[in-house]
């Protein structure tokens, strides 16, 4: 709800009372990026006061908000929110700003603690708020007693950064209806404060990793439910060899090649979870599979093993091999992780933008064979015992691959 403009910095340690230090600010003059001809759609402002600066692109706004430490932010704000690498850069830039402030006490630091959006789902115009530091357990929390005029009663979604959680209030000065504390990317403000926010508070929040949440689900400390979103897409995992034979004679030879092939899947958390974590054997993997079948009406598997026989024709003096290109399916959505008691400050956590790719069950894919003349080294190695056709262990190579998945997914909080 609209009010006169002022800002407040809160200094608060976890578990202590709050000391509010009110800092009057000058009129929120809006400036545009040098060289632009119209007011920008993406703005920045520091919680301690100062003018709102606006830029034509989100990339330019983030470059300014991070003192040039992040110059390659995605141009599209929605893409930025769903890009784990970008979020990590913002957090790394925050740490770098703090280190510089420690080394040079007179230097000002600018740390992005959150971005607010006029539209739902992290779209539309944006306002990125900066502070002098990250949110820390024993350090300052922050608040804005009155959001800038264009965003007053207009914020629809938001994203927090640098270990901060946020709370939105309908009235100035952290009064009126409010949301619970939330961390991460929120597709809507919620709690009756959508398009009604007039003031915002940030404070430290410990956030779990997706691996920690998965571990609690697997240990039945929490319950996990997966909701698929969007359509299934299909691709091929890459041509790879499954059988090989060398023709050591002077005439064409045919050989029936028996072969087997195991194809595994991958997911957007594969790197974080580590090679030893087998999601197909875990409860979270089972939940994903059940949701997939319920949503799309057919089976999901994290790994498949197929066997077959192929008649391989190998010309004289050549090596021939059988190739397989496995048909894969990809789908995504989000996990909801629910605890009986609060953990990391919340009952519910979400793992959003989780994407998995796995082999299509009971699909052979594309199988063919090729040959080429043997090299002198191959002849010496495989034809020395006088055998006509020599079978060999296939070469484990892949000539094409489907698009790699993102390296992580996004963890954010639900109700406290």
The per-residue pLDDT for range 88-105, each reduced to its tens digit, is: 899 999 988 888 877 777
- Predicted local distance difference test score (pLDDT) of residue 11: 27
Q: At what angle do helices 210-218 and 283-296 cross, to 10 degrees?
A: 90
Contact 338, 252 (CB under 8 A): no
Q: H/E/C letters for each residue in 1-64?
A: CCCCCCEEEEECCCCCCCEEEEECCCCCCEEECCCCCCCCCEEEEECCCCCEEEECCHHHHHHH
Cα separation, 380 vs 276, in Å, equals: 40
Among 16-30, 32-46, 79-93, 301-315, where is mean pLDDT lowest?
A: 16-30
- Predicted local distance difference test score (pLDDT) of residue 145: 95
* Residue 101 three-state SS: helix
In terms of C-beta density within 10 A (0-12 exposed, 13-18 middle, 19 or more buried), how is residue 191 classed? middle
Which domains, and CATH codes, for the chain? 7-206 (2.60.20.10), 211-413 (no CATH)
- Predicted local distance difference test score (pLDDT) of residue 140: 72
Position 49 pLDDT exceeds 70: yes
Q: Which residues of 32-55 are buried (b: 16+ CB within 10 A; e: fewer)?
A: ebeeeeeebbbbbbbbbbbbbbbb
- Predicted local distance difference test score (pLDDT) of residue 85: 83
- Predicted local distance difference test score (pLDDT) of residue 327: 96
**Averaged confidence pLDDT in the chain:** 84
Cα separation, 218 vs 212, in Å, equals: 10
Position 57 pLDDT exceeds 60: yes
Average pLDDT on 324-339 reads: 96
Contact 416, 342 (CB under 8 A): yes
Among 11-15, 96-100, 187-191, where is mean pLDDT lowest?
A: 11-15
Q: What is the largest CA-CA distance in the chain?
A: 95
Highest mean predicted confidence (pLDDT) among 81-85, 219-223, 361-365: 219-223
Query: Residue 1 — very low, low, confident or very high, per pLDDT cuts 50/70/90?
Result: low
Average pLDDT on 162-173 reads: 93
- Predicted local distance difference test score (pLDDT) of residue 59: 95
Sign of CA dihedral 297, 303, 309, 310: positive
* Residue 213 three-state SS: helix
Share of the chain above pLDDT 70, in %: 84
Q: Look up the pTM and report it.
A: 0.67
Position 139 pLDDT exceeds 80: no
275 contact partners, CB below 8 Å, separation of at least 6: none
Contact 125, 158 (CB under 8 A): no
């Amino acid at each position: 709800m609209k009010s006169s403009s002022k800002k407040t910095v809160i200094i608060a340690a976890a578990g202590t009372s709050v000391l509010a230090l009110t800092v009057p600010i000058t009129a929120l003059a809006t400036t545009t990026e040098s060289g632009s001809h119209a007011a920008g759609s993406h703005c920045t402002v520091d919680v301690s006061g100062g003018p709102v600066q606006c830029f034509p692109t989100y990339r330019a706004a983030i470059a300014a908000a991070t003192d040039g430490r992040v110059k390659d932010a995605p141009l599209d704000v929605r893409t930025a929110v769903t890009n784990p690498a970008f979020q990590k850069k913002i957090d790394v830039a925050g740490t770098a700003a703090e280190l510089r402030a420690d080394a040079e006490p007179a230097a000002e630091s600018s740390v992005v603690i959150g971005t607010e959006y006029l539209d739902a789902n992290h779209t539309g115009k944006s306002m990125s708020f900066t502070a002098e530091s990250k949110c820390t357990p024993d350090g300052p929390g922050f608040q804005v007693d009155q959001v800038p005029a264009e965003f007053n009663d207009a914020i629809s979604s938001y994203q927090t950064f640098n270990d901060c959680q946020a709370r939105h209030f309908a009235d100035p000065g952290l009064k009126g209806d409010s949301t619970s504390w939330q961390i991460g990317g929120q597709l809507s403000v919620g709690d009756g404060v959508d398009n009604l926010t007039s003031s915002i508070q940030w404070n430290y929040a410990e956030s779990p990793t997706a691996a920690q949440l998965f571990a609690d689900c697997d240990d039945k400390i929490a319950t996990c439910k997966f909701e698929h979103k969007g359509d299934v897409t299909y691709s091929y995992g890459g041509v790879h060899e499954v059988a090989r034979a060398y023709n050591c004679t002077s005439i064409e030879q045919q050989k029936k090649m028996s072969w087997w092939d195991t194809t595994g899947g991958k997911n957007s958390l594969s790197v974080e979870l580590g090679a030893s974590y087998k999601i197909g054997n875990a409860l979270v993997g089972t939940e994903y599979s059940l949701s997939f079948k319920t949503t799309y009406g057919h089976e999901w598997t994290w790994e498949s093993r197929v066997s077959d026989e192929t008649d391989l024709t190998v010309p004289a003096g050549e090596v021939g091999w059988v190739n397989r290109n496995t048909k894969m399916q990809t789908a995504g959505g989000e996990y909801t992780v629910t605890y009986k008691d609060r953990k990391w400050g919340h009952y519910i956590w979400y793992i959003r933008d989780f994407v998995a790719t796995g082999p299509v069950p009971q699909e052979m894919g594309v199988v063919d064979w090729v040959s080429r003349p043997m090299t002198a080294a191959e002849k010496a190695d495989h034809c020395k015992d006088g055998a006509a056709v020599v079978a060999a262990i296939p070469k484990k190579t892949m000539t094409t691959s489907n698009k790699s998945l993102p390296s992580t997914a996004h963890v954010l909080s639900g109700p406290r």
